[in-house]
């Protein structure tokens, strides 16, 4: 997946009005947007369709899918039918549950991102001990896209070493959570950034500053 300016916007706002107000300002800088539960629970799955159609962008749905295979497949099917280009899936549920999402993605010509480890402090208690095993499972399954934390670069580097240089790795936790954009891109292909942009007094200025900081 190609990502303009190596930045994926985490659009964690609570209304389409807020989403449009923000995207009208910054959409020229971005072509990939991550939509998760906040906007979808507030506005319905139609938010995915509307953002994709109105702003002609790629949509990664961040539902961190983590259920039994049959339920996962239903979630994936309706998500891809709404226009999502990719779906983030938890890996700890095992290859059968992950595989059901992969099957759905293949059916619709879409993609799955396997979540190895999250970026918040609490992830170190339960996810961290198994995150490398999750990455290895993804490689064994032939998965090409992964999510790993910018807040723990040593962990991100290990994930990259497991999945290989040709896999696509995106990384949350940049900015508000403490991750450094340029350092993260030593191992990740793209950054996931939300609050540092949409809560900024001037989102355009904030985004331009981040883009300037990561130019190599």
Active-site annotation holds for 64: yes
Token pair for 51: 């953002």
Token pair for 134: 């999750």
What is the signed CA dihedral for 78, 81, 86, 87, rounded to 10 degrees? 0
List all residues 6 or more positions away from 9 whose beta carbon is below 8 Å from its beta carbon.
26, 30, 32, 33, 34, 193, 194, 197, 198
Token pair for 182: 């340029």
Pick the catalytic residue: 6, 52, 64, 110? 64
Q: Could you tell me if 12 and 198 are in contact, meaning their C-beta atoms sit under 8 angstroms apart?
A: yes
Residues with catalytic roles: 64
């Amino acid at each position: 997946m190609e990502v303009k300016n190596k930045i994926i916007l985490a659009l964690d706002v609570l209304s389409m009005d807020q989403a449009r107000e923000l995207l009208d300002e910054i959409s020229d800088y971005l072509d990939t947007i991550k939509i998760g539960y906040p906007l979808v629970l507030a506005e319905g799955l139609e938010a995915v369709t509307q953002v994709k159609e109105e702003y002609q962008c790629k949509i990664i749905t961040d539902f961190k899918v983590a259920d039994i295979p049959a339920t996962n497949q239903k979630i994936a099917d309706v998500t891809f039918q709404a226009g999502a280009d990719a779906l983030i899936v938890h890996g700890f549920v095992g290859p059968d549950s992950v595989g059901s999402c992969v099957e759905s993605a293949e059916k619709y010509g879409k993609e799955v991102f396997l979540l190895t480890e999250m970026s918040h402090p609490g992830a170190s208690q339960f996810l961290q001990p198994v995150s490398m095993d999750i990455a290895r499972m993804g490689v064994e399954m032939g998965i090409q896209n992964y999510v790993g934390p910018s807040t723990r670069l040593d962990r991100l580097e290990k994930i990259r070493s497991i999945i290989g240089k040709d896999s696509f790795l995106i990384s949350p936790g940049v900015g508000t959570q403490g991750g450094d954009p340029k350092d993260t891109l030593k191992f990740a292909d793209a950054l996931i950034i939300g609050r540092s942009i949409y809560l900024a007094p001037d989102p355009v200025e904030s985004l331009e500053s981040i883009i300037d900081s990561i130019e190599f």
